[in-house]
C-alpha cells in the first residue's frame, strides 16, 4: 500500500513500548498513521518516522481502522467507550482492533459498545515482545466479524508474520490462554525429562543441546536453555503469573466442559511450587521442585 | 579432510536406508569409507560414489573407526562380537560407533566385549529419518569414553548437524528415551489445548496455524498439523510403540528414582487410549480420546 | 434433661423430612421444642409427640436455641434475617444453629446479621440422611463461637452420634466439602482396583466382599456394593452434583493455596465422565469410564 | 466340627506369630491339628491347647488339608516342594493352603509342583495382623480349584470372618495387591483433605473425629488417627515398602492393560516423597509432603 490520496488512514491508540513497535512497522511500510498517546511526548519517535500525532482520541474517529494497545482493561474501556473515547465523537472509525491483553469479559463489554455504535471490533492479542515485533516475528490471533478481519488483515500482516482469525466472538482470548496452558505443560515436561537425563549422568547442557537439535525443539526452550543450565530463576514471568493464566485457562475449560488431565495436573504442581516458595521466581523454577523430588537438588551448585 | 595417504579410513557396517544415508554424507565429504552389508548388492550405490566394498566384516578391522547401523540387538551382537564379527579378526579398529537403536542392556554387553578387546565403544543413537539425514538435519547423542568421542566427533558432525556427548556409559540410550517421553507429553498437551480452543469455537486449522507461528512451535507439530486437522491416524508410530517407549523410559525413571508426575499421567492416558481401541493407530490419535471426553467427537467429521 | 419449669426451650425452624427427623430426636429425649414450618400442617407429627407449633417465626425469639433446617440459601436468609425473620422480633434467641447446606458466603452473611443482633450463630451441616438421623448415626460438624458450641453441644449430641467443633468461622462448610472430595477420590480409587481385580479374573462381587471385610472397608462402600455389582447407576447423587462439590472444594483449595494432586486428577476424570454421557448417572458410574479404558466394558453384561 | 474318629486331620506348617494365631483358632474350635515348625519349641503353646507336634514335614502327608504360613518365597518352595518337603513323602495331603505372602510367580511354581503331585493348591493370603486374627477379624482371599476351596472353606471361616474365592489361578495375589493400591490411594486422599481442612482453620484432630464418624470412615483411618494427629511416622509399613507394592500392583495393571490414573499419580507422589527423604518413614508421612506443598509444615509443631 502507498500513501496516496485514497489510501485508508490508520489510527493508533497507545504508543508504549509494544504499541510503538507495532505502529512503526505500519509506518515503515508506508501506511498513513495518526497516533495518540496519553503522554503525547511518547509519540515523537513515530512522528519522526512519518506519523501524525493527534490531541484528542476522538480525532481518530475519521480513520478507517483504529488499533488499540493499552495497559489495562480499564484503559481499554476508557479509550474506546469512555466520555472522551473513540466512540464519543461524531465520526467513528470503520473498525477497532484491540491488541491489549484483557479478559474475555472486558473484551465482550467493549465489543458490545462498539457494535452498538456501528463499529466492528476485533480482539487481537499478540504473541511476542517488542523485540520480536520489531524483527517481524510476532503472531496475532484475532476474533470478531470475519469481514472486518479480512479488511484489516493486510495491516495485521504488516505487523506480524502470522495473523489468524479464531472466530466471530472472544475466541482470540481463549486461544491466547491455550497458548499459555501449553507453555506450562511443556515446561513441566521439559523439567521432568531434563532431571531424568541428568540423574542418569548426562549434564543439563548436553541434554538440552541435543533436544534443541531435534524436531521437538522450540524457540522458547532454546531461549531459556541458558537459564535452565545456570538455574537462573530471575523472573521473565513468575510462577504466580503462570498460575493466574492457569486459573483463567482451566476456568474456561470448566465452562466449556473440556477435561484437561495434564493441564490440571500441572496446575497442582504449580500450586505446590508456590507453596514451597517458588511463587515469585520465574516459572521455569518448576525445575527446582522436580529436582528436589528426584533428590538431585543438593548435588547441584 | 581429504583422502590422502595418511587419512584415517572409516568402516561402515550395515547399509540399509538409514545406514546408507549416513555413510553417503561421509563419502560426499571426501572421507575414505569401506562398507559391508549382509546383502552385498546394497552397497553398490555407495561404491558408485567412491566407497570400497569389503567381503568380510573382519576386513574392517584395519579401519580407525567403524560405524554400525543394523536393525536389531541380535544383529549388533553378531556383527561386533560374533564368531565372524568385527572383534574376531587379528586387526581391530580403534573405535566402534553404534548408531542402531538397541536397549541399554544390549549396548552394555556389546560395549563390554569391545572394551575387553581394547576397542572404544560409543553408543550413538540418531534422531531423524533417512530424509532428514540426507538434508543434514539429523542429531546424534553419543555416550562412551570422552576421548573416543572427541576423535570421532568430526565424522559425527559430517553426518549430523548436532553431535552431543551424553556421558561415559549408556546415557545416550536414556537421552533417546527422554526425547520420546517428551514427545508423548507434548502430544497430550497439544491435544488438550487444541480441543479446548476448538470447543470454544476456533477451528483446529486456525488454532494450529497460530501455535505454529509462536515461540512454542516445533517442527514436529508443524509436520503433524495436517494429520491433526484431517484426523488422519495412519501410523507414523503407533500408540502401542509409544507405550513401549514409556515402559522403558518410566522404567529408567523408577530405577533412577526420578518422579515423573506428568510422564506417569500420560502413560495412563496412553494405556486408556489403547484400551479403547487406538493402539494400532498413530499416537496422535490421543486427540480422539481427548475429544471424546470433551464431547467433541460426535460433532466432528 | 427434663422438661421442668427452668428447662431451656428449643426452637425448630423447618420441619421437612430431615428437619423433622432431627427435631424428633430432641423431643423424644424429653426436650421442650417449639416448631415452625411454612406449611404448618407438616408440624403435626412432631406436635403429636409433644412439640408446640407456633404461627410466626418471631415467636421463637424467646427460645434459648433455635435450630434451622431449610432447603435453600435464600430460605435461610429469609427465615433468619428477613422482615418476618427470627431477628425481626423484640425477643431474640441466645443462639441460632443452622443445619442447612448452604455456601460459605451465605453462611457468613447470615452469621453477620445474627452477630449484629447479638445472637450467636453456629453453622452446623449434617452428614447422614433422615434414616441415618433417625437411627442416631448422623454426624454434625459445627463452626462459630466456641462457647456457643459448648452450650448447644448437649443438644447436638442428642441429635447425632458425633458433634465436632471445626473453628470459629465458616470452617464447617469447608469440612463438609473435604468430606465430599474424599468421597470422590475414594470412589475413583475403588473403581480402579475393582476393574484391575476383575480383569485379573476375580469377579466384582468376590473382590468387594473381600474388601468389605478388611480394615479399609467403609460403610459407604458396603452400602454401594450391590449397585456396583449390578452396575446400577440409578442416581443417589449424580456425577454432575459431585462435580459441583469438586468445583467448590477445589475452589476453596485454590483460595487457601493447598495443592490437591489427586483431588485435581479426579476432577478431570469426573469432567471426562460427564463428557461421555455419565453426568446424570450416579457418580459411581465412574466405574464405566474406568472399565471402558480397561477394555472391560464390552465383556460385561 | 468335632474331633471324632472320622474327623479330618489338619496340618499346620509354620507356627510363627501369625501362623500360631491362625492355627490356634482351629484348635480352639475343636479341630484335630498336627503342627510342624522349624524351631520345634515354638509349637509348644499350640500343643498345650491340644495340637500334636510332628518331627518331619512329611509326617503331615496324611492330613486332609495342610496350611502353610512361612516367611519367604524360598521357605514356601522348600517346605512344599523341597527334598524334605510336604510332597516328598509317600502320603500326600488332599490340599495345601498357603497363607504366606509371596509373589504370583513363586505361587504359580509351587502350585505347579503340587498339582503335578495330585495335590490341590490354594493361594490364600490374609488381611490382618496376629492380634486381628486372634479376635476373629481377619479376612482371607483364596484362589485355586473351586472344589478345593469349598472343601476347606469351613476351616477358613473358623480362622477368619471372611473367606472369599477369587478365582482358579493366582488371583488372590492380585487381590491383595489391589488392597494395597487402594490403601495407598486412600492415604493420599486422606492427607489432601486433612491438610485442606487444616489450612482452613480446623485442627487435624477435629477433622479426623468428624471423618471417623461418617460413612466414609474405615477402621484403618481410625487406627491411624493418633499417628496423624501427632505426626508420628514410626513405621508400621515404610514408604519404600508401599512403593514396592505399587511396583507390583501397577506392573500387574500394565500386564493386564488396565489404566490406573489415580494409582499412577499416587505412585509418582510416593516416589517424590522418597526422593525428599521419607522413604524409611511410615507411608502416612505422605502427609508431610502434602503439608509442605500447602505451606503448612513450618507452622506445625
In sequence order, what are the beta bridge partners of A34?
A: A11, A52
Nearest CA in chain C to A273: C259
Give the mean pLDDT of D138-144: 96
Extract the C-alpha cell encoding D167: 478365582
- Per-residue pLDDT, A130: 93
- Per-residue pLDDT, A172: 96
The rounded distance, in Å, linking the Cα atoms of A73 and A102 is 5
The rounded distance, in Å, linking the Cα atoms of B122 and C7 is 91
Question: What confidence tier does D5 reach under pLDDT thresholds 50, 70, 90?
Answer: low
Question: What confidence tier does A300 reach under pLDDT thresholds 50, 70, 90?
Answer: very low
Contact B93, B118 (CB under 8 A): no
Contact C60, C93 (CB under 8 A): yes
Task: Tell me, yes or no, if C188 comes closer than 8 A to chain D by beta carbon.
Answer: yes
Question: What confidence tier does C301 reach under pLDDT thresholds 50, 70, 90?
Answer: very low
Question: What confidence tier does B130 reach under pLDDT thresholds 50, 70, 90?
Answer: very high
- Per-residue pLDDT, C101: 82
- C-beta atoms of C259 and A272 within 8 A: yes
Give the mean pLDDT of B179-183: 97
Instruction: Pick the closest to residue A79 from A104, A49, A99 (CA basis).
Output: A99
Indicate whether C6 pLDDT > 80.
no
Question: What confidence tier does A101 reach under pLDDT thresholds 50, 70, 90?
Answer: confident
The rounded distance, in Å, linking the Cα atoms of D185 and C266 is 12
Nearest CA in chain D to C297: D258
- Per-residue pLDDT, B300: 44
Burial of D83 (0-12, 13-18, 19+ CB in 10 A): exposed
Instruction: Pick the closest to residue D37 from D85, D65, D82, D70 (CA basis).
Output: D70
φ, ψ for residue B33, nearest 5 deg: -125, 130
Indicate whether D4 pLDDT > 70.
no
- Per-residue pLDDT, A299: 42
φ, ψ for residue C223, nearest 5 deg: -65, -30
Give pTM, 2 decimals: 0.93
- C-beta atoms of C276 and B295 within 8 A: yes
- Per-residue pLDDT, A63: 96
Give the mean pLDDT of D97-109: 91
Contact C67, C89 (CB under 8 A): no
Sort out which chain D residues have CB atoms less than 8 A from A295's CB and list them: 275-276
User: What are A4-43's pLDDT values in tens digits?
Assistant: 556 679 999 999 999 999 999 999 999 999 999 999 999 9
Cβ atoms within 10 Å, residue B9:
17
Sort out which chain C residues have CB atoms less than 8 A from A276's CB and list them: none
- Per-residue pLDDT, B8: 79
The rounded distance, in Å, linking the Cα atoms of B166 and B143 is 5
Going by DSSP bridges, is the β-strand pair D126-127/D139-143 parallel, antiparallel, or unpaired? antiparallel
DSSP-based helix, strand, coil % in chain A, nearest 5 = 55, 15, 30
Of C182, C188, C197, the CB nearest to D216: C182
Give the mean pLDDT of C72-100: 95
H or E element at residue B235: none
- Per-residue pLDDT, D102: 85
The rounded distance, in Å, linking the Cα atoms of B48 and B44 is 6
The rounded distance, in Å, linking the Cα atoms of A208 and C94 is 69
Q: Which of these ranges, A155-164, C244-253, D39-48, D102-111, has the smallest mean pLDDT?
A: D102-111
Sort out which chain C residues have CB atoms less than 8 A from A271's CB and list them: 254, 257-260
Instruction: Pick the closest to residue C211 from A39, B92, D164, D280 (CA basis).
Output: D164
Cβ atoms within 10 Å, residue A33:
24
Q: Three-class SS of residue B117? A: coil
User: What are D238-263's pLDDT values in tens digits?
Assistant: 999 999 999 999 999 999 999 999 99
Question: What confidence tier does A301 reach under pLDDT thresholds 50, 70, 90?
Answer: very low
Query: For chain C, what is the largest distance between any 2 Cα atoms, rounded to a whole number of angstroms?
Result: 70
CB contact set of C144 (below 8 Å; sequence gap of 6+)? C111, C120, C121, C122, C123, C168, C169
User: What are B157-174's pLDDT values in tens digits?
Assistant: 999 999 999 999 999 999
Contact A63, A10 (CB under 8 A): yes
User: What are C22-57's pLDDT values in tens digits?
Assistant: 999 999 999 999 999 999 999 999 999 999 999 999
Contact D289, D278 (CB under 8 A): yes
Extract the C-alpha cell encoding A13: 491508540
CA angle at A248 for the pair A193 and C265, rounded to the nearest 5°: 50
Extract the C-alpha cell encoding A140: 496475532
Percent of chain D with pLDDT over 70: 96
Q: Three-class SS of residue C108? A: helix
Q: pLDDT: is C101 or B214 the higher one?
A: B214
Task: Tell me, yes or no, if A271 comes closer than 8 A to chain D by beta carbon.
Answer: yes
- Per-residue pLDDT, D297: 64
- C-beta atoms of D218 and C213 within 8 A: no
Extract the C-alpha cell encoding A19: 504499541
Question: What confidence tier does C172 reach under pLDDT thresholds 50, 70, 90?
Answer: very high
Of C264, C271, C272, the CB nearest to A267: C264
Q: Three-class SS of residue B12? A: strand
Question: What confidence tier does D2 reach under pLDDT thresholds 50, 70, 90?
Answer: very low
- C-beta atoms of B265 and C265 within 8 A: yes
- C-beta atoms of B271 and D265 within 8 A: no
Contact B115, B121 (CB under 8 A): yes
Contact D9, D62 (CB under 8 A): yes
Q: How many CA atoms lie within 13 A of D5 on its CB side?
A: 0
Q: Which of these ranges, A104-108, A241-245, B45-49, D198-202, has the smallest mean pLDDT?
A: A104-108
Q: Three-class SS of residue C278? A: helix
Contact A172, A141 (CB under 8 A): yes
Give the mean pLDDT of C264-276: 98
Give the mean pLDDT of B138-154: 97
Best mutation site among B184, B252, B264, B279 for testing chain D: the one with the most D CBs within 10 Å?
Answer: B264
- Per-residue pLDDT, C104: 85
Question: Mean pLDDT score of chain D, rounded to an integer?
Answer: 94
- Per-residue pLDDT, D299: 42
- Per-residue pLDDT, A102: 85
- Per-residue pLDDT, A104: 85
Extract the C-alpha cell encoding B114: 569391545
Give the mean pLDDT of B252-267: 98
φ, ψ for residue D150, nearest 5 deg: -65, -35
Task: Tell me, yes or no, if C265 comes closer than 8 A to chain B by beta carbon.
Answer: yes
- C-beta atoms of A178 and B167 within 8 A: no
Contact D275, A295 (CB under 8 A): yes
Sort out which chain A residues have CB atoms less than 8 A from D261's CB and list them: 261
The rounded distance, in Å, linking the Cα atoms of D105 and B143 is 36
Give the mean pLDDT of A202-230: 97
Indicate whether B41 pLDDT > 90.
yes
Q: CA of A259, closest CA in chain C: separation in Å?
A: 5
DSSP-based helix, strand, coil % in chain B, nearest 5 = 55, 15, 30
Task: Tell me, yes or no, if A185 comes closer than 8 A to chain B by beta carbon.
Answer: yes
Give the mean pLDDT of D114-138: 94
How many CB pairs (< 8 A) connect B and C?
20
**DSSP calls for chain D:** ----TT--EEEEE--SHHHHHHHHHHHHTT-EEEEE-SSGGGGHHHHHTT-EE-SSGGGGGGSSEEEE--SSHHHHHHHHHSTTSTTSSSS--SEEEE-S---HHHHHHHHHHHHHTT-EEEE--EES-HHHHHTT--EEEEES-HHHHHHHHHHHHHH-SEEEEEESSSHHHHHHHHHHHHHHHHHHHHHHHHHHHHHTT--HHHHHHHHTTSTT-BHHHHHHHHHHHHT----SSBHHHHHHHHHHHHHHHHHHT---HHHHHHHHHHHHHIIIIITTSBGGGHHHHHHHHTT-GGG--
Nearest CA in chain A to B127: A214
Sort out which chain B residues have CB atoms less than 8 A from C293's CB and list them: 271-272, 275-276
Extract the C-alpha cell encoding B173: 540410550
Q: How far is CA C118 from the centre of its chain?
A: 27
- Per-residue pLDDT, A297: 64
Torsion sign across C-alpha atoms C207, C210, C212, C215: negative
- Per-residue pLDDT, B6: 64
In terms of DSSP H, where are the helices of chain A?
17-28, 44-48, 73-81, 104-116, 130-134, 146-159, 171-199, 204-211, 219-230, 239-256, 261-273, 286-293
In sequence order, what are the beta bridge partners of D127?
A: D139
**DSSP calls for C227-268:** HHHHT----SSBHHHHHHHHHHHHHHHHHHT---HHHHHHHH
Extract the C-alpha cell encoding A22: 507495532
Q: Note the ipTM here.
A: 0.93
Amino acid at each position: 500500500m502507498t500513501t496516496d490520496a485514497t489510501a485508508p488512514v490508520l489510527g493508533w491508540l497507545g504508543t508504549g513500548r509494544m504499541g510503538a513497535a507495532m505502529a512503526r512497522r505500519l509506518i515503515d511500510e508506508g501506511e498513513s498513521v495518526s497516533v495518540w498517546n496519553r503522554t503525547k511526548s511518547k509519540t515523537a519517535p513515530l512522528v519522526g518516522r512519518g506519523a501524525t500525532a493527534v490531541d484528542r482520541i476522538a480525532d481518530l474517529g475519521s480513520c478507517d481502522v483504529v488499533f488499540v494497545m493499552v495497559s489495562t482493561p480499564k484503559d481499554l474501556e476508557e479509550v474506546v467507550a469512555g466520555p472522551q473515547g473513540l466512540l464519543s465523537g461524531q465520526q467513528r472509525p470503520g473498525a477497532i482492533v484491540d491488541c491489549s491483553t484483557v479478559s474475555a469479559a472486558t473484551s465482550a463489554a467493549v465489543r458490545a459498545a462498539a457494535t452498538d455504535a456501528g463499529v466492528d471490533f476485533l480482539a487481537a492479542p499478540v504473541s511476542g515482545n517488542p523485540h520480536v515485533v520489531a524483527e517481524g516475528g510476532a503472531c496475532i490471533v484475532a476474533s470478531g466479524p470475519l469481514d472486518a478481519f479480512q479488511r484489516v488483515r493486510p495491516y495485521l500482516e504488516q505487523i506480524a508474520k502470522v495473523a489468524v482469525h479464531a472466530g466471530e466472538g472472544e475466541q482470540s482470548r481463549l486461544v491466547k490462554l491455550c497458548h499459555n496452558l501449553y507453555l506450562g505443560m511443556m515446561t513441566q515436561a521439559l523439567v521432568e525429562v531434563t532431571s531424568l537425563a541428568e540423574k542418569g549422568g548426562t549434564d543439563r547442557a548436553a541434554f538440552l543441546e541435543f533436544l534443541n537439535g531435534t524436531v521437538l525443539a522450540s524457540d522458547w526452550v532454546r531461549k531459556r536453555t541458558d537459564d535452565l543450565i545456570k538455574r537462573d530463576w530471575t523472573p521473565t514471568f513468575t510462577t504466580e503469573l503462570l498460575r493466574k493464566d492457569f486459573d483463567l485457562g482451566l476456568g474456561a475449560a470448566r465452562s466449556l466442559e473440556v477435561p484437561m488431565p495434564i493441564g490440571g495436573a500441572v496446575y497442582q504442581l504449580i500450586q505446590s511450587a508456590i507453596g514451597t516458595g517458588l511463587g515469585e521466581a520465574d516459572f521455569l523454577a518448576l525445575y527446582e521442585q522436580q529436582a528436589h523430588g528426584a533428590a538431585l537438588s543438593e548435588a547441584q551448585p
